[in-house]
Amino acid sequence: METHSSVKRKTAGIPLMSDTRWGSRGKTVGAFLDHFKSAHSALTDLESRTSSNSNKANNLRHSMESFDTIVTAVTTNKILGYIQPLTKELQSPNIDLMTAYKEAREVAQVISTLRNEKGFCDIYAQSIELASTIDVVSSKKRVTNRQQNRANTPSQSIEEHYRLNLFYPFIDHVTSQLNTRFVENSEPAMLATYLIPSALSRLTKDKQEMMVSWYREDLPQPDSIDQEIHRWKVKNQPPTLLVLTAKDTLNMINVQYYPNIHCILSIYLTLPMTTCSCERSFSALRRLKTWLRSSIGNDRLSGLAMMHVHRNRALDPEKVLKRWDASGHRRIVLAFDRK
């Protein structure tokens, strides 16, 4: 049974693969596999014609007829399917550090469980089935005594060759990158999550000292932070209702009684997980300051950028006109009371 996303990909064709957006890679590889036979037929048709693209079509067709290409595409599509939701979530403006680290470690753990013969068996079977649609027989590249450009692990069969030289190295690379990028407690800023009532019991003295030293310069009352955390622990002992998120903790805390903890959680929630927010602002500026607006001033550009970024906020046109009329910089006088 075809899923909605699969049907959508088939009707939309094969999207281009972006060099910067990892989310597009999964879509491109998935669409390529869905349109595999159709793409091969189209390349064969282009090759038969006398045109400038016939040589390029010939090279692409030969590449598709390589069993190595088919196994690589199926393996990549399988692994990227696990990473795709994480990639989308990391681009969300509401994600926090702890949630991202937790989800990334869970994805890495799930992917690592595929590193066995059973995990590759389904991929290899799907590769053979896909290769049969264009009459390609499973094969492996020639093994030499000295190989420098690709893996050359000895194997007894074709399946074992791709499992040892392609599947296992790809799994190891993906899991190592996830574990390196999302190391637990790699940043002292993440220790602020132990101030959440549900995690207070795991806040040790060493972790507290590391957290305080990292946030000390921004605290309103740094000399009383230890006493404040002690009071916070006593207040949130069972059977008090345990809050599970930092955002809910910040909403329930009394800033008058716990100013330092409120400051720590506020900074923690504003720390960006990725550079998506900065990249969005760059994209917005590129859309606003075009060649037709090359002489735009900083004040007007800043105002347009704020209106564009926060376009979902409702504005009162009458208040805007009143403020514009009362500025005194316009020759047109509107019928508003300036009092």
> Which pLDDT value is given to residue 8?
47
Tell me the per-residue pLDDT of 46-100, one tens digit each, with 9 for 90 and over.
Answer: 888 877 788 888 888 888 889 989 999 999 999 988 888 888 777 776 666 667 7
Which tokens hold the place of 20? 């910067």
Cα 27 from chain centre: 14
Tell me the per-residue pLDDT of 119-152, one tens digit each, with 9 for 90 and over.
Answer: 899 999 999 999 999 988 888 776 666 666 666 6
Structural contact between residues 130 and 36, judged by C-beta atoms closer than 8 angstroms: yes
Model confidence, pTM: 0.63
Question: How long a stretch of residues is the chain?
Answer: 339
Q: Could you tell me the sign of the dihedral formed by the alpha carbons of 214, 219, 221, 225, in that order?
A: negative
pLDDT of residue 272 exceeding 80: no
pLDDT of residue 11 exceeding 50: no
Q: Please state, in angstroms and rounded to a whole number, the distance separating the CA atoms of residues 97 and 101.
A: 6
> Which pLDDT value is given to residue 325?
73
Which tokens hold the place of 100? 């991202």
